[in-house]
Structure 1
Amino acid sequence: MSILVQNIIPILKAKAIGNTATAVIDTVSIDSRSLQNSANTLFFALVGPNNDAHVYIEDLIATGVQNFVVLHIPEACADKANFLIVENTLDALQQFAAYYRSRFNFPVIGLTGSNGKTIVKEWLNFLLSPDFNVIRSPKSYNSQVGVPLSIFAINEKHNLGIFEAGISTVAEMEKLEKVIKPTIGILTNIGSSHDEGFLDLEEKVKEKLVLFKEVEILIYQKSDIVDKFILPHTKTFSWSFSKEEADVFIYKKEFEDQNTLIHYKYKGDSFKLKIPFHDQASIENAISCLMLLLHFDYDIATIQSRMVLLFPVEMRLKVKTGINNCSLIDDSYSSDFQSLKIALDFLESQNQFQKKTVILSDIFQSGLANEELYSRVSQLIVSNNINRVIGIGETIAAFKDKFVNCITFKNTAEFIANFDELDFENETILIKGARSFQFEEIVYLLEEKTHETVLEINLNAISYNLNFFKSKLKPKVKIMVMVKAFGYGNGGLEIAKLLEHHKVDYLGVAFADEGISLKSGGIQLPIMVLNPENTSFAAIIQNQLEPEIYCLKGLYAFLKIAKEKNLHQFPIHIKLDTGMHRLGFEEDSIEELIATLKGNETVKVQSILSHLATSDDLKHRDFTLSQINLFDAMSTKIITELGINPIRHILNTSGISNYPDSQFNMVRLGIGLYGVSNDPAEQKYLENVGTLKSVISQIRTIKAGESVGYGRKFMAEKPTKIATIPIGYADGISRGWGNGVGFVNIKDKKAKILGSICMDMIMVDVSEINCTEGDSVIIFGESPTVSYIAKKLNTIPYEVLTSISQRVKRVFYR
């Protein structure tokens, strides 16, 4: 892409301010945090319900970005850059993408449906890439923002596009259709996803089909409801399990080992197709791919030889704990230029070490000549401050000189043979390779070995929940996020890195060692220690943490050590007791507090705070308001008498929602960040963050009269199929969740816990579930939720989350 900004103005119907006559852009961005932003970037300042990118423009200008599409020019930025002022920046992004798409004339496959879009897209890319130079949506970039960003990756060498479109309500698909302009349509499975955005199934189907209003052919599973809304002029190519009049009729399925043999009729003849899956979803997705290959007139032998090689699709970037104090970012199943940019941005958001290494295979399907491709890759590596590149593949080895500090190997086996000489230690490692290079073997070598139970943390959900609560704040109100208790059990450092990436104002921890751990991990944000012990004051000072001071004894102790160390204006936080009666200065000690602090230059009162006892229970509204009023009065007295201007904060997660008029200068977000609300109405707007998973270790069938577990607490009344799962109370599962009270989720079905929960294992009833050893088990997540478990155990979600043992591996993904 190389476009004069002057030529973009009429496309967007924008009012231009600045020197746009000679400005040229070669990339588009919506992410202010990306290190790939440059002087030739066109930045669209998107405004959503939870975020406004205009607040980041001043920082972007400071990093060299010069071209912006905005609703208004921030006051501090006038005359400092080029601005294109539009009525709606998202509409402008889509308009520019539609214009850019119109510059290319080759077949474009548009995919939509409730399920299977990304998998079909990735499989089609695999199946067609030997014959086409494919451009496709990276990962699952199928939203109102993701689709335009995908389109901007097209270049002149591409000759086939595959783009997916996802919608959640009406009037969205028309916008995506204008951007994608598909020539071939594929409708995947229509399920229950996003049902809440539509009146009924018919409205959903009708909206999905808008994507295909101008396609040359539509591929779909024949059904009465879809047929009802297909436009009369649309040419179709249909398949079915039940309707023999479909163009392709699937009349039989046979299962053999791990494969499925599909028997189908097409143009009067019968054929067989073997695919390496058993599950219904994969079978349907594979048939969608078959249909496209038939439409492209591939011969049966080629179809069979390629489709038998289909593979599970990994759609997530995962953060894993590595050997020798390393952090791994596992993206070991794809290698294309666009997804490399995404992975490098993710690396920066999760980087825990100064040293950054990228292990990279040959890059395929870029649409660029190798010389230009690896020059661009080199630029990305430089802009993201990568210290070391390990290239694997004969092509990248040929361009080794384009990279600083680069070592190459001709294949993965050669890398493994030299593994011990590469000295991986105290660094963040991005592992990104095409599937054919089998980089999962590299991940296995670098990953710290733990047992099969993992707590998966969805970083997208954390970002979403953070922005949800930020949207409730008044302008200029700061936000402190609590990452105490190992990030409420979810993983402190990794989450702190993400929060620092989102530029929150403060982090809060309970004890000094938690804060020291974050500082040692490279966190630069100010960190407040809420429950400091006097013996930890020296360590707090040494590590530039900020203590909460809640009593005169603690104040005197801190002032003594501050004087000994000749401190000046060291930040402290004064805690007031307004009714919680846990920690804090009470009213009768305020005078002495003021007298002690007056004229003291060793410390600075950075903030004054208190804590609400019943912010989540509106039955106690009067008591909460009395706390807020007392806090206002006490803090005002301190501020007035000392002549200071500190931050004030009293609201926690529930307080943010229930007492919006009492935000003062800052709020403290805790459990809400992790997707848990005490308000059922609010809960539906939050996204689940943590999913605790394990696997089935063994399956057995016991006879009537036999027992399960310690104490023979469960006695079988009939033959019962039992699955044993390697997780127990040593991992944080309450023993009260056993003996039929609780359940786990296997294959989207409830499996009741039988007998007592053991230290390292639980046993569940899988009599009605078609499962095998090694199958995944969800302990909590979407179902059961931590809130549901807490209610059944007569406790709170905090306890369920924070009980998960440190021996359970945390896997972070986006």
Structure 2
Amino acid sequence: MSLDLKNIVTVIQAKWLGNRTDTNIENISIDSRSLQNGPKTLFFALVGPNNDGHDYISTLITQGVHNFVVTHIPHELADKASFFVVDDTLKSLQIFAAYYRSMFHFPIIGITGSNGKTIVKEWLNFLLSPDYNIIRSPKSYNSQVGVPLSVLAINEKHNFGIFEAGISTRNEMEKLEFIIKPTIGILTNIGSAHDEGFSNIGEKIKEKLKLFKNVSVLIYNKNKTIDSFLNPTIDTFSWSCTDHHADVFITTKSILDKTILKVKIQNNHFEIKIPFRDDASIENAIHCMMVMLYLEYDYQTIETRMELLFPVEMRLKLKNGINNTTLIDDSYSSDFQSLKIALDFLESQKQYKKKTLILSDIFQSGLSNEDLYSGVSQLIISNKINRVIGIGETISKYKSKFLNCTTFQNTDDFIANLNQLNLSNETILIKGARTFHFEKIVAALEEKTHETVLEINLNAISHNLNFYKAKLNPETKIMVMVKAFGYGNGGFEIAKLLEHHKVDYLGVAFADEGISLKNSGINLPIMVLNPENSSFEAIIQHQLEPEIYSIKGLKAFLKIAEQKKLYHFPIHIKLDTGMHRLGFEEENIEELILILKASKAVVVKSILSHMATSDDVKHQAFSLSQIDLFEKLSLQLITALQINPIRHILNTSGISNFSQAQYNMVRLGIGLYGISNDAEEQKQLENVGTLKSIISQIRTIDAGESVGYGRRFVAEKPTKIATIPIGYADGISRHWGNGVGFVTINNQKATIVGSICMDMLMVDVTNINCFEGDSVIIFGESPTVIYMAEKLKTIPYEILTSISQRVKRVFYRE
């Protein structure tokens, strides 16, 4: 975003008091705590029930913010900044967001409904992101404030939008429709959430349908009630599992932990498999499938992508509990409709026959308490719940409606009596309204994990990939390096994600890495950058593509290729343009051409070289000389052999610093994993790997006592020491010990003391409130891998690739 402040003032019809007339605005803010606030920020001072943005203007001015949208100018600040006075700052924010939205003309999906909005949004983002640069609502930004902030995040790189719209009462949806202006609508369902804001279900349906008054199509589950409220001028694309008059008819069949959807559309039939069995996930998945059908995706693509759908961690989280229990954490909502969904989820995920429900008072039901708890009782009976534990004054009054029920007045009362409940060998659904703070119950019942893990954020990998893609010409191909176990982050899981994102090539160092990926089902072309002659047979067998960098290696490969009577097997020719590591030098080119001309067993798929200093501006002249030599030698090969190969020389730093040399393809390496040599670029990347452990033991030592081998740390005063089960056998450098490095515990730095041992390290936690079993961040957001590398006088590559394979990798999507 970069907009002239004068235009903004005109749009929101503000009275301008101030003398700054030339400011371009690049950031809209409503949060005084944001570190992004600065001279190019326009701050909207929103007034809410608990906060007034006007109260923070003085502080923001000291932080460099110059421009404020206000309803009044705070006392003594009139000459301190520029103020744009309006009647209603929220309304002005919405008007501005609507104006900003009108500047973009790509498809936008608007999603509303009682449940499933965020999941459908996140799944659609996953399903469509290989083909579009998508802007979507962050988390659940679907409110009167969240929607404009979401829309204001659009930039010129985006070509598809997905936004949620949530309402709780009348006359809200028109404002959101005015901002979002969706071209495609999705109505997920109509349930009981926020019933209290409407006089009847009809009023609620009419309000939600206002989001779709200008859409090209509305996608929904065909329903007679909804049909009766639909504007007949709106085109619809409906589905149903019961009504054959729907545009798409679907039947479902469960197999183990998956569901087969048999889909009939017009005279066509196809099947897809999704990794879920609960009704809510099936419904959400069908909405996503309908969007793909409307966008005319082929059935094979739909089938392939839908099978990769994943649980979205929002309200329902499956966790291991103490005493051989399984916990289903739904500790932030308590309406009747979501209880039905949670109980369905409990049934599909239960690991123990015995089922217990911990339930708070229920809100947002739209029913009298008598009818509500009678309905809950019937729901519990039908789901064969063995025990109910009710928490809250209201549910306690209706205890008699439940069999085998124990009640408590509040959460603290429950926790105080926890040991008397004998929770063991059962599946426990924990479902409560936010005001009951059921997260305390989850914390009390959750099993504390005692292991060191490297958590890999697949969303961050996708973000970083798209960041670098945005720097490329549309026709430029991309090879992603997954060598060295994906730079220590894991091979197959990352390769699978990259395949989903339709990268053109994967790069590995040795044949066995490529063979492992092929055996795991990766179908992308895989280039082996450092093939040994002894691996050529295996490379051919597994359809890998070798980099050839010497006459000797070429002759060895041709000998095998001709014995096997191969024809045009793809190879990649490496040129040495100054790295002086591997590659054909200029004096080898004539001989190389003669050998290649004489054989039809291979075809040159690509010509490549490697830049030695693409990350260092001091050596820009050398980098340019490498590019020039690559141009000369590669053209010599192309002309002599009369071929049209892919050419590539740029690595991660080269993509950013030498975009003129993109040729036909670039090779993305460390940047994918969230590491850049450029400080400004680093701010745009997301952290991928977080190495975590726990505190095994805490002890206090007296002054004069030492810690670890060699007594390299001696306490000068009583010191609290925590021992963490990770050491140099796990890949932590011994040079990181003895006061050089630190870990993060409860958001505080804990200095490493003494020598790092093979399996353990010790830290000073004297000033940190922590306990045995608490989580420890070895690296991630703090300390970063870049910081560690600087202190250890090495490079981030070494830090990442040193993490031992004995450290468990855990992959997740946020």
* TM-score bracket, shorter-length normalisation: 0.5 to 0.7
Matches within 5 A, 1:354-369: none
Matches within 5 A, 1:8-47: 47=133
Distance in 2 (alpha carbons) for counterparts of 1:676 and 1:530: 22
Partner of 2:301: none
Structure 1 residue 435, shift from structure 2 partner: 3.6
Partner of 1:155: 189
Partner of 1:784: 783
Distance in 2 (alpha carbons) for counterparts of 1:674 and 1:346: 26
Verify the 8 A CA contact 1:392 1:410 in the aligned structure 2. no
Structure 1 residue 604, shift from structure 2 partner: 1.1
Verify the 8 A CA contact 1:722 1:767 in the aligned structure 2. yes
Aligned in 2, Cα 1:543/1:156: closer, same or farther, shift over 3 Å? same
Q: Name structure 2 gaps, 5 residues minimum.
A: 1-100, 108-115, 137-155, 174-178, 198-207, 213-273, 290-303, 312-317, 319-325, 356-382, 388-426, 432-447
Matches within 5 A, 1:655-804: 655-804=654-803
Matched, 1:348 2:348: no
Partner of 2:631: 632
Structure 1 residue 331, shift from structure 2 partner: 10
Verify the 8 A CA contact 1:33 1:501 in the aligned structure 2. no
Q: Deviations over 1:275-322 (max 9, x none)?
A: xxxxxxxxxxxxxxxxxxxxxxxxxxxxxxxxxxxxxxxxxxxxxxxx
Partner of 1:644: 643
Matches within 5 A, 1:347-746: 348=308, 435=429, 452-746=451-745
Aligned in 2, Cα 1:106/1:89: closer, same or farther, shift over 3 Å? farther
Distance in 2 (alpha carbons) for counterparts of 1:588 and 1:16: 53
Q: Deviations over 1:374-413 (max 9, x none)?
A: 9xx9xxxxxxxxxxx988899x9xxxxxxxxxxxx97899
Distance in 1 (alpha carbons) for counterparts of 2:743 and 2:620: 37
Aligned in 2, Cα 1:530/1:452: closer, same or farther, shift over 3 Å? same
Structure 1 residue 593, shift from structure 2 partner: 0.6
Structure 1 residue 565, shift from structure 2 partner: 1.1
Distance in 2 (alpha carbons) for counterparts of 1:455 and 1:16: 39
Structure 1 residue 596, shift from structure 2 partner: 0.5
Distance in 1 (alpha carbons) for counterparts of 2:104 and 2:765: 61
Matches within 5 A, 1:207-356: 348=308
Distance in 2 (alpha carbons) for counterparts of 1:505 and 1:107: 49
Distance in 1 (alpha carbons) for counterparts of 2:160 and 2:458: 27
Structure 1 residue 335, shift from structure 2 partner: 7.0
Q: Deviations over 1:617-651 (max 9, x none)?
A: 01000000000000010000001100111000000
Distance in 2 (alpha carbons) for counterparts of 1:747 and 1:684: 24
Partner of 1:806: 805
Distance in 1 (alpha carbons) for counterparts of 2:593 and 2:798: 37
Partner of 2:15: none
Aligned in 2, Cα 1:728/1:542: closer, same or farther, shift over 3 Å? same
Identity of aligned residues (%): 62
Verify the 8 A CA contact 2:188 2:284 in the aligned structure 1. no
Structure 1 residue 723, shift from structure 2 partner: 0.1
Aligned in 2, Cα 1:808/1:572: closer, same or farther, shift over 3 Å? same
Distance in 2 (alpha carbons) for counterparts of 1:793 and 1:34: 38
Structure 1 residue 566, shift from structure 2 partner: 1.4
Aligned length: 491
Distance in 1 (alpha carbons) for counterparts of 2:279 and 2:749: 34
Match of 2:581, as an amino acid? R
Provide the secondary structure at the position in 1 that maps to 2:308. helix
What is the TM-score normalised by the length of structure 1? 0.53
Provide the secondary structure at the position in 2 that maps to 1:657. helix
Q: Deviations over 1:576-605 (max 9, x none)?
A: 000000000011111111100114221111
Distance in 1 (alpha carbons) for counterparts of 2:664 and 2:733: 39
Q: Deviations over 1:665-688 (max 9, x none)?
A: 000000000000011111111111
Distance in 2 (alpha carbons) for counterparts of 1:333 and 1:776: 33
Aligned in 2, Cα 1:498/1:13: closer, same or farther, shift over 3 Å? closer
Distance in 2 (alpha carbons) for counterparts of 1:149 and 1:30: 18
Q: Deviations over 1:330-354 (max 9, x none)?
A: 9999976677789996861689xxx
Structure 1 residue 152, shift from structure 2 partner: 4.1
Structure 1 residue 155, shift from structure 2 partner: 2.0
Distance in 2 (alpha carbons) for counterparts of 1:461 and 1:566: 45
Verify the 8 A CA contact 1:485 1:802 in the aligned structure 2. yes
Verify the 8 A CA contact 1:577 1:610 in the aligned structure 2. yes
Structure 1 residue 156, shift from structure 2 partner: 2.8
Verify the 8 A CA contact 2:692 2:778 in the aligned structure 1. yes
Distance in 1 (alpha carbons) for counterparts of 2:278 and 2:171: 26
Provide the secondary structure at the position in 2 that maps to 1:684. helix
Structure 1 residue 807, shift from structure 2 partner: 0.4
Distance in 2 (alpha carbons) for counterparts of 1:452 and 1:362: 22
Q: Name structure 1 gaps, 5 residues minimum.
A: 1-10, 18-25, 38-42, 51-86, 110-143, 164-175, 181-328, 352-357, 378-388, 397-408, 414-432, 438-448
Distance in 2 (alpha carbons) for counterparts of 1:476 and 1:750: 46
Distance in 2 (alpha carbons) for counterparts of 1:605 and 1:156: 59
Q: Deviations over 1:58-78 (max 9, x none)?
A: xxxxxxxxxxxxxxxxxxxxx
Distance in 2 (alpha carbons) for counterparts of 1:393 and 1:763: 39
Match of 2:605, as an amino acid? Q
Verify the 8 A CA contact 2:121 2:162 in the aligned structure 1. no
Distance in 2 (alpha carbons) for counterparts of 1:725 and 1:736: 17
Distance in 2 (alpha carbons) for counterparts of 1:646 and 1:728: 47
Aligned in 2, Cα 1:665/1:45: closer, same or farther, shift over 3 Å? closer
Partner of 1:321: none
Structure 1 residue 716, shift from structure 2 partner: 0.4
Structure 1 residue 434, shift from structure 2 partner: 8.6
Structure 1 residue 475, shift from structure 2 partner: 1.9
Structure 1 residue 793, shift from structure 2 partner: 0.3
Provide the secondary structure at the position in 2 that maps to 1:691. strand
Q: Deviations over 1:2-61 (max 9, x none)?
A: xxxxxxxxx9999999xxxxxxxx9987977867x9xxxxx99865599xxxxxxxxxxx
Match of 1:564, as an amino acid? Q
Match of 1:348, as an amino acid? L
Distance in 2 (alpha carbons) for counterparts of 1:766 and 1:642: 67
Distance in 1 (alpha carbons) for counterparts of 2:130 and 2:497: 22
Distance in 2 (alpha carbons) for counterparts of 1:88 and 1:589: 44
Aligned in 2, Cα 1:12/1:735: closer, same or farther, shift over 3 Å? closer
Partner of 1:169: none
Match of 1:762, as an amino acid? L
Distance in 1 (alpha carbons) for counterparts of 2:461 and 2:157: 27
Aligned in 2, Cα 1:362/1:715: closer, same or farther, shift over 3 Å? closer
Distance in 2 (alpha carbons) for counterparts of 1:450 and 1:93: 37
Verify the 8 A CA contact 1:30 1:46 in the aligned structure 2. no
Verify the 8 A CA contact 1:108 1:160 in the aligned structure 2. no
Distance in 2 (alpha carbons) for counterparts of 1:723 and 1:550: 51
Verify the 8 A CA contact 2:698 2:720 in the aligned structure 1. yes
Provide the secondary structure at the position in 1 that maps to 2:684. coil
Structure 1 residue 91, shift from structure 2 partner: 9.2
Provide the secondary structure at the position in 1 that maps to 2:590. helix
Verify the 8 A CA contact 1:30 1:44 in the aligned structure 2. no
Matches within 5 A, 1:31-110: 47=133
